[in-house]
Amino acid sequence: MIIAIHQPHYLPWLRYVQKIARSDVFVLLDDVQFTKNGWQNRTRIKHAQGWMYLTVPVLDAFGRAINQVMINNQQRWRAKHWQALQTNYGRAPHFERYRGLLQPTYERPWESVSELSAHLLHTLLGALGIRTRLVRSSELGVSGTGTAKVIGICRKLGATVYLTGDYAATNHLDVAEFAPHGIEVRPQGWHAPTYRQQFPAVPFIPDLSIVDLLFNEGERSLAVLSERTHESATA
C-alpha cells in the first residue's frame, strides 16, 4: 500500500499530481498550519511574457490550520482567475474540451480555501484518469507533528510504502523512524517532463500548474507524467 501526504494546493503543479498518480491513497494534509506565500492558495501559469501567479486571497490566516482559512471574497478573484485561464489558454489544443469541467468552479462562491482546492483536485484527477483514493488528514484523528504525524497517518491507513518528495526525504523527515513500523520511505525521484506549451517564443517553463499540461496535451497528459515516472524508476 503506497501512501503519499501533502498539504492541499490550489491548481497544483505537475510533481504534486505525479505523486498522486503513483499512490494508492493520497492524504490531503489539511490540519497543519497554513503557509503564507506558499502554494496552498496560489499557482503559476504561462503567459506571453513568461509566467504569472494566480493567488486566491485569504482572510487572516496567521496561525490557522489550512482547513480553517477562509477566502477573502471582497476581491473579485474568481472572475480574474477564469479570465486569465481563458486569455492564456483559450487557443491551447484542449482548452475547449475541459472548459466545461473547470468553468463552473469559478461561477460559484467558495468560503474555504481547503474546500476549493479539494474540489478542483477531484475535478482535475478525473479529467486525467487518476483514480487514487483521496483522504483528508483532519478526518483521521491522528495527532502529533512532523515525522510522528506522518508515521501515524501511514499506520492508520496500513501503508507499506511512504512516497515522499525528494526534498522532504532529506530535510524534513527522520527516515530511520519508519523502519520499525515496516514502512519503506521512497523518494519521488522527480524529473520535470517537457511538452508543448503556449507562447513558443517564450522558452519552456517547468513546474507550472497541471492545467498547463492538461490544456496543451489533453488525454496524453497522464502518459507524459507516467513516462517520466518510468524513466525515474529505471534510471
Cross-strand bridge partners of residue 50? 47
Give the model's pLDDT for residue 157.
97
Give the per-residue pLDDT at 167: 72
pLDDT the model gives residue 171: 63
Grid cell in block for residue 23: 499512490
pLDDT of residue 16: 97
Q: Cα–Cα distance between 106 and 83 in angstroms, integer? A: 10
- Give the Cα separation of 56 and 47 in Å (integer): 18
Per-residue pLDDT 10s for the chain (235 aa) are 999 999 999 999 999 999 999 999 999 999 999 998 899 999 999 999 999 999 999 998 888 999 999 999 999 999 999 999 999 999 999 999 999 999 999 999 999 999 999 999 999 999 999 999 999 999 999 998 899 999 999 999 999 999 998 876 556 789 999 999 999 999 999 999 999 999 999 999 999 999 999 999 999 999 999 874 444 443 3
- Are the beta carbons of 7 and 173 closer than 8 angstroms? no
Helix (H, G, I), strand (E, B) or coil at 19: helix
The DSSP H or E segment spanning 129 is none
Q: 84-87: list long-range contacts, CB under 8 Å, 24+ apart.
A: 84/45, 84/47, 84/52, 84/54, 85/45, 85/211, 87/47
* Size of the chain, expressed as the number of residues it contains: 235
The letter for the amino acid at 221 is: S
Computed from CA positions of residues 105, 130, 222, 15, in that sequence, does the dihedral angle turn out positive or negative? positive
Round to whole Å and give the CA distance between 225 and 191: 9
Grid coordinates in use for 77?
478573484
CA–CA gap between residue 153 and residue 83 (Å, rounded): 39
Q: Which of 71, 10, 8 is nearest to 208 (CA)?
A: 10
